[in-house]
Amino acid sequence: MFQLDWPWLLLALPLPWLVRYALPPAKQFDLGSVFVPISATMPLATAQPRPARQRVWRTLLGIIWVLLVMAATRPQWLGEAIEIPETGRSLMLALDISGSMETPDLDPQQGRRSRLDVVKEVATDFIDHREGDRIGLILFGSQAYLQTPLTFDRKTVARLLKEAVIGLAGRDTAIGDAIGLAIKRLKNVPKGKAVLILLTDGANTAGTISPRQAADLAAQAGIKIYTIGVGAKSMQVRGFFGPQLVNPSADLDEDTLRYIADKTGGRYFRATDQQTLRRIYALLDQLEPTSGGAQTVRPVSELYPWPLALAWLLSLALALKTVTLPRKQFRHGIH
């Protein structure tokens, strides 16, 4: 359906005509005359526009004014009503992008993709079907920063997640600061609706607040935290004496991650490969379902550029005609 967002601006339509008839005519000043030797041969150069031409110009000016007023009223086209699921849940993802996320141990079949690459692929699938949730993204290394505030725009969150690179926030791991930033962003969310999913592959080695202190503050704010520790339990690497088995997750602080989850009413998960990580996110879908109410919205298409563009074209044509007319009169007077 068609609507005007600011219909009261239609009251300005008769304004030019009211001004014309309400105000006295402008005084005409005689600025003197200049002697031109050939003025006798060009009687049309000083002739006034014909009445018919004046009526055409006034009509064009009236049309331009009407188009400008119509553009100012913001005409819009409302589409069909669409129901958007809305759970009321605010879901914040905190992703570790420290230097250790370069380790290629979560995808043994390919063996070249880093932990971060695998995590981004799985987390993107998770975000895509979280319809009805407000989702935000925090990236942390030596520091924690907000990549995406809470939003229903899941495509933007997924795109910015794919653009995350290792070392962007430093090479160390500030788990406590990541939780603290999430608390700041979720503190106004009603209790029971704020959820943080924190994923890391190491221990807290940077930041101004410890993870356990941050977990205590999150519990007081009513924020539930699910923690995910990533990293394989064993990995074959080439050494001086040939291939050797090492533990690439030796620095993972599972005790602290369990404490964070238990303190806030969440759960701790351990992901040792890509398939395990997918199962964890599938389980999170079950623990935090997206079922809820629905909000009805109508897509709005702005139509004001059309009358505005037409008014501009008519104004341009009128201006060009005004400039070229005296030249034609001058040539006609000489001949």
Cut 0.85: pTM above it: no
**Bridge partner list, 245:** 236
Neighbours of 147 (CB within 10 A): 21
CATH class label, 84-294 = alpha beta
Q: For the ranges 88-92, 128-132, 321-325, 331-335, which has the lowest average pLDDT?
A: 331-335
pLDDT range class, residue 286, cuts 50, 70, 90:
confident
Question: What is the DSSP annotation of 269-321?
Answer: EEE-SHHHHHHHHHHHHHHS----EEEEE--EEE-THHHHHHHHHHHHHHHHH
pLDDT score recorded for residue 68: 92
Using DSSP bridges, classify how beta strands 90-96 and 134-140 pair: parallel, antiparallel or unpaired: parallel
- pLDDT (tens digit per residue) in 177-233: 999 999 999 988 888 789 999 999 889 999 999 999 999 999 999 999 999 999 888
Angle between the 154-162 and 115-128 helix axes, to the nearest 10 degrees? 170
pLDDT score recorded for residue 87: 55
Q: Which amino acid is at 100?
A: S
> Tokens representing 207?
């930041």
Query: Residue ranges of the alpha helices (H) in 73-207?
Result: 115-128, 154-162, 175-186
- How far, in Å, CA of 265 to CA of 222, rounded? 9
Whether the pLDDT of residue 160 is over 60: the answer is: yes
Q: Rounded to the nearest 5°, which phi and psi values hold at 266?
A: -100, -155
Range 36-54 average pLDDT: 53
Whether the pLDDT of residue 328 is over 90: the answer is: no
Instruction: Write down the domain spans for the chain.
Output: 1-13+49-80+298-335, 84-294
- How far, in Å, CA of 327 to CA of 325, rounded? 5
Please state, for a pLDDT cut of 70, what percent of the chain lies above it.
79
Contact in structure between 180 and 140 (CB atoms under 8 Å): no
Using DSSP bridges, classify how beta strands 144-151 and 134-140 pair: parallel, antiparallel or unpaired: antiparallel
Whether the pLDDT of residue 245 is over 90: the answer is: no
Contact in structure between 284 and 196 (CB atoms under 8 Å): no
- How far, in Å, CA of 252 to CA of 147, rounded? 24
pLDDT range class, residue 110, cuts 50, 70, 90:
low
pLDDT score recorded for residue 175: 95
Range 164-181 average pLDDT: 91
> Tokens representing 94?
């905190």
- How far, in Å, CA of 212 to CA of 210, rounded? 6
- How far, in Å, CA of 177 to CA of 173, rounded? 9
Nearest CA among 9, 10, 152, 79 for reference residue 302: 79
**What distances in angstroms separate CA 68 from CA 73, 78, 306, one per listed residue?**
9, 21, 10
